[in-house]
Structure 1
Amino acid sequence: MALLCSLLAWALLALKGLKAEDEACCGTIVPRSEWGALPSTCARELEVPVPYVVVSHTAGSPCDTPALCLQQAQNVQHYHVRTLGYCDVAYNFLIGEDGLVYEGRGWKVKGDHSGPTWNPMSIGITFMGNYMKRVPPPRAIRAAQSLLACGVAQGILSPNYEVRGHRQVQQTQSPGDQLYEIIRKWPHHYEE
């Protein structure tokens, strides 16, 4: 029931067009407890404010409803923990095509999304799906942008943070050609 209430609140906020700077909007992230996350054994915290954000995609199945996205977040975490041996899901946040943000490691815990150089100094957000040939829906893009504004409003992200595509920091095709073209237009994107 708590999940349903949280999802309805997020939908109402999205319909009203509230921005992430609004205090209530910062509380609309689907918490780990509501998507059924395994307990985390991660302990290393990030130093805030964090200067970088790395955007990736899972390259797996997309999800466009809360039920499918809950399952997809669980699938990603199970793969990272049970197959790769990570202490938790690799990302700080996961973005669903349902327009919701799913808490991964959260704002202050170091991720395992971009290698030893970038993990200690960046927030990793991933879009659940494969964006080589298709774009995420606008509601997913808005959710990611609101999340970043929320991070700045809370003092966790530096006001002059830089966004980088996963491919800019590691040898990968992530975040996919189509999503990369979108984030290249974001005001905080760093172009080499």
Structure 2
Amino acid sequence: MLCPTVKRFQYTFLAVGSFDKMFTLAGFALLVAHVSQAFGACPTIVTRHEWGARAPRSVTHFSNPAHYAFIHHAESGDCHDKTSCSALVRSFQNYHMDTHGWADIGYTFLIGGDGSVYEGRGWDVVGAHTQGYNSVGYGFCFIGNFMTKAPTAAAIQAAKDIIACGVSNGKIQSAYVLRGHRDMGSTDCPGNVLYGLIKGWPHY
């Protein structure tokens, strides 16, 4: 037997053209949004296959959720669409693998100027982005050079969203520490302007 609340939901959902149906559908959409957030819905990610990644030479996995989230910039040109961003990400991977001799692109995820997130090594894989801390943190790289300018608002939001996604899905500790690359070594990364911005973010 259905309880009165469930009966009313069933009735109003089926009552085509009624105000109750409109109200119930709106409430249902809101419920779905909250459930998605609660279960760690992530921003749309451009996969390795989509941007044309080479296969990694080897893969080392994390044993625990990451304690750190490190912010980087690529010190590169800007990109504002999937085509131009994908080309830059491929060039980063080639440089990391062919010049540095690394197993793969160094970063965990990369963020384009249009707010798209590009999968680097991805979740659960140890990267090569912050010497001495790769096994305890993920590296999030803004595509571009942010010494004298800020990333786009879309890129900043995407970075915050992918970090929150990691927390929600148990990839990053809830009490994680946010740092810029320069906090952990001798470098100007992630650029003066971006570094100034992240110092105001939660967990810094």
Residue type of the partner of 2:81?
T
Separation in structure 1 between the aligned mates of residue 150 and residue 75 of structure 2, nearest angstrom: 12
Whether the 8 Å CA contact 2:72–2:189 is kept in 1: the answer is yes
Whether the 8 Å CA contact 1:42–1:109 is kept in 2: the answer is no
Partner of 2:27: none
State whether structure 2 residue 79 is matched by structure 1 residue 86: no
Separation in structure 1 between the aligned mates of residue 168 and residue 55 of structure 2, nearest angstrom: 28
Whether the 8 Å CA contact 2:56–2:103 is kept in 1: the answer is yes
Q: 1:140 to 1:27 in 2, by over 3 A?
A: closer
Whether the 8 Å CA contact 1:21–1:149 is kept in 2: the answer is no
State whether structure 2 residue 198 is matched by structure 1 residue 187: no
Partner of 2:143: 128
Partner of 2:17: none
Residue type of the partner of 1:97?
G
Residue type of the partner of 1:188?
H
Partner of 2:15: none
Q: Secondary structure at the match of 1:132?
A: coil
Sequence identity (%) = 39
Residue type of the partner of 2:112?
G
Partner of 2:184: 169
CA RMSD, Structure 1 to Structure 2 (Å) = 1.7
Whether the 8 Å CA contact 1:62–1:130 is kept in 2: the answer is yes
In structure 2, stretches of 5+ residues that fail to align are 1-32
Partner of 2:127: 111
How far off is 1:44 after superposition? Answer: 1.1
How far off is 1:47 after superposition? Answer: 2.3
Partner of 1:137: 152
How far off is 1:48 after superposition? Answer: 2.4
Runs of 4+ in 1 over 6 A off after TM superposition: none
State whether structure 2 residue 112 is matched by structure 1 residue 96: yes
Separation in structure 2 between the aligned mates of residue 150 and residue 52 of structure 1, nearest angstrom: 14
Q: Structure 2-normalised TM-score? A: 0.80
Q: 1:24 to 1:165 in 2, by over 3 A?
A: closer
Separation in structure 2 between the aligned mates of residue 25 and residue 64 of structure 1, nearest angstrom: 24
2:82 to 57, 66, 69: 66
Separation in structure 2 between the aligned mates of residue 179 and residue 42 of structure 1, nearest angstrom: 32
